[in-house]
Amino acid sequence: MHFLTWSEFEKVALHAGTILQVLDFPEARKPAYKLQVDFGEHGVKWSSAQITKRYTKEELVGRQILGVINFPPKQIGKFISEFLVTGLADENGEIVLAAIERPVPNGSRLI
């Protein structure tokens, strides 16, 4: 395991955002949604997430998530992912979103 220095950790821009819109992503190799997320002063960004087995589109809208917003954009088929959705695999390998316990302003940085 590589231990990070504090300055290395500070380079990871983990920010809170609110899911505005969830779309199906039928072109994805594995079942996924396209998520549109408001990161406050950092803008509205899109990403995809393989969370279709754990979450419905309806229950995701309005939910706050944590995203890494300083990775370069990634092309997934015809779709451009602008941030990384954070989550953890459960005992079956299904992704559970990293949760924010109470509402915080969009764009808040994990400290």
pLDDT in tens, 6-39: 999 999 999 999 999 999 999 999 999 999 999 9
Domain of 54, CATH number, reads: 2.40.50.140
Q: How far is the C-alpha of 24 from the C-alpha of 72, rounded, in Å?
A: 23
- Which position has the higher pLDDT, 111 or 60? 60
Structural domain including 57 reads 6-97
User: How many domains is the chain built from?
Assistant: 1
- For residue 111, is pLDDT > 90? no
Q: How far is the C-alpha of 22 from the C-alpha of 55, rounded, in Å?
A: 11
Task: Tell me the pLDDT of the chain averaged across its residues.
Answer: 96
Q: What pLDDT, on the 0 to 100 scale, is given for residue 77?
A: 85
- Residues with Cβ within 8 Å of residue 14, at least 6 apart in sequence: 66, 67, 68, 86, 109, 110
104 inside domain = no
92 inside domain = yes
103 inside domain = no
The residue with tokens 């419905």 is: 56
Q: What is the dihedral of CA 34, 37, 42, 43, to 10 degrees?
A: 80
93 inside domain = yes
109 inside domain = no
61 inside domain = yes
